[in-house]
Amino acid sequence: MSGQSSRTVGQILRANVLTRFNALIGALCALVLVFGSPIDALFGLIIVVNSAVGVIQELRAKRTLDRLALVGRAPVRVRRDGKEVEVAPEQVVLDDVVLLATGEKAPVDGDVVESDNLEIDESLLTGESDPVDKAPGDRVLSGSFAVAGSGAFRATKVGDDAYAAKIAADAGRFSLAHSELYQGINRFLGLLTWVIVPVGALLVIAQFTRGSSVSDAVIGSVAGVVPMIPEGLVLMTSVAFAVGVIRLGRRRCLVQELPAVEVLARVDTLCLDKTGTLTEPGMRLRAIEPMPDQDEERLRAVLAALVQADERPNATLQAVGAAVGPAPSWPVREKQAFSSARKYSGADFDGHGAWLLGAPEVLLPDSAEASSSEASSSEASSGAGSSGAGSSEVSSSEAASSDARDRASALAAEGLRVLALVSAPSLSTSDGRSPMALIVLEQKLREAAPATLKYFGEQDVTVKVISGDNAAAVGAIAGQVGVPGSRDPCDARTLPDGGDDLADAVERHAVFGRVTPHQKREFVRTLHSRGHVVAMTGDGVNDALALKEADLGIGMGSGSGATRAVAKVVLLDDDFSVLPSVLAEGRRVLANIERVANLFLTKTAYSILLALAVGVAQLPFPFLPRHVTLVASLTIGIPGFFLALAPSNERARPGFVPRVLRFAIPAGIACAAATFVAYALARAVGGTSLAADRSTATLTLFLVAWWVLLLVARPLNGWKIGLLAGSAGAFALVALVPPLARIAALSVTDPGNDAIGVLCATAAATALTWVVAKLRR
């Protein structure tokens, strides 16, 4: 299985050189070289420029992606020659013994050889929602990941033979697929193919049947067909994406799929996990609060033993273990690994009893459960002729549980993480559990979190905090960093399973606690059902399902391998404050590509309309290819390149295709109408040559196209005004300096023709400005 995150150099060259646009333009360029002047074939340079720019930018993006992918990719632990070593995923070979622990992803298929309460989540592959217990001999599929326990399996299928090899390869590739922007552009190109062919044919027939020489007919036809092709639109889009990847790469943000830059620009709901996102990844033990009559030193020994019993303790157990000291040598009869679904772990020690450590709400019964349990106990005691001593004992235990729960809730309301240490008759029964202590941990808030969340609020992005921790604790943390609605946290265990009630609750609340991994995924689906574009951040294995389901999964570099594998964006330095930059980069790409699309499709529109008008009127085509190249370069190609890479803070809006068409069609009509009227009037007035009439048409087209550029570039600032001035100055230089004018075949020295062109252009520009203003309203 390849670890490659981008296309190969050969694929990049083929994708940028062997295109249908390059083939068509190359053929037209060859015709001009055979029948006309080499100067008229200058438009053929667009093949070289487009291909070179596309290749260079994608190679730069490839280097950035590949370098970051090596840093961000999770290594695989294997046992070779009795030693544990780390290798790259593609270096796993047949019969390797691959080691798995909570949060690690299986890179290949295999058979389990060791299992220490190993539970595997295969939902990303099979759709099965519940984790699967794995015993020796059971099968492990590549792409699945461990959610509890640890174990090892022997690799039986590697590379392309592995179950998820193709899926994993497709997910990690430098991909331009599944992009709303690209889909919109491809729709344009598909429609244009059906239009360009018949209109081009009409133009060719008209030029050949009006009595022109073969040379003039070929040159006129080429001049009409070339501008119909939006040859730079796909290039500019690819360049904008590639530059976005490079810019984010400099911030240590790995974009594993190009459209991710675009998707975040459309996000209106950002779901955050508390741990590792709002808070720093680590935590520390603040206090151990024993229940009455409990010895703290003994409880510390129990905690140390629980930590030692877990071969790969999670961050919580590590924090506890660092504070309680060395562990006693207690033999372990049975143990239960922690999972996000259970929210607790435990071990049964020979001679020291069974102990559980986890969420107080799960391990300690609430008041309703206590009442039910008390009634059951009373009935049992009455049936046995008991004097009621048993009932009194149960009530005492329930009272202790109630007190512990109340204290845990009070601590959680301060933003602290609270665990319950519970003794039990065995790990397999929920009866007879007694609270022994509360374990209080604290986490440090990220300094940049308040400013980052404030930014998202200003950008109309709704923030929802979704965590597996206590709801009150999550609400307290969210309140400290300024999440709106944090005073009304919701315990996810009280939510309905689905439907409109769940959707209403998810819409209404901003902070959720005690959320299971599958609930997180259901939350994302519910938000989708209400029309939201959802981004999800996370670092733990419990976030992987939701990250996969979200429109944009954002993983942390220090997070689990499973999380990084499904995320489309990975923050390699766990720097949550980078997210505003990602949002801004996405919005820059979308806003600028829309501007560029407006320019290119305006050119296509006026070219098609001019070809139709000339074909029907049986006139010589109003331009030579060099005229088309000059106008397109100064009003579209060169300005479009700068606009595609410009800074922009415009918010993303739906409806890319209709919005571009609403601008490009009126703009194309204005350009075509002004140009054709000016050309026709110049021809009708008489006394001027075809070359002079073509110069009038070129002047008119440039003026209207320049005005279109001005409308597209708004709002104007210093550099945009400079860009517009440079475009106008360059055209004036070519038109008025005799040597350049001769090369460009321009003659704008006839006052009558020039006046016609300026008047037609002014009228069209005025009408277009009014129409655009009406359409925007």
553 in Cβ contact with 569 (< 8 Å):
yes
**Cα 272 from Cα 537, distance rounded (Å):** 5
Q: Is 273 a catalytic residue?
A: yes
Helices (H), 267-337: 296-309, 315-324
Coil, strand, or helix at residue 149? strand
Judge whether 761 and 704 are in contact, CB under 8 Å: yes
What tokens were used for 525? 């689906």
Q: Any idea what the Cα angle at residue 613 is, between residues 611 and 615, rounded to 5°? A: 65
In DSSP terms, which residues pair with 48 in a beta bridge? Answer: none
Task: Provide the 3-class DSSP secondary structure of residue 359.
Answer: coil
Give me 691's structure tokens.
């070359």
Which one, of 151, 147, 143, 142, lies nearest residue 132 by Cα? 147
Please give the C-alpha separations between residue 603 and each of 230, 705, 767, in angstroms, as whole numbers: 8, 8, 18
- The letter for the amino acid at 90 is E
Placement of tokens 């209106």 in the chain: 268
Backbone dihedral angles phi then psi of residue 342, each to the nearest 5 degrees:
-75, -40
Apex 163 CA angle, 165 and 177, nearest 5 = 40
Both tokens assigned to 773: 């203003």
Element housing 100 (H / E): strand 97-101
Length of the chain: 777
What H or E segment, with its residue span, contains residue 511?
strand 511-513
**Pairing relation of β-strands 569-571 and 511-513?**
unpaired
Residue of 109, 121, 273, 693 marked active site: 273
Q: Specify the amino acid at residue 119.
A: E
> Residue 528 is inside which H or E element, if any?
helix 517-529
Q: How far apart are CA 89 and CA 79, in angstroms?
A: 14
Q: Vertex 333, ends 332 and 336: CA angle to 5°?
A: 80
Active site residues: 273
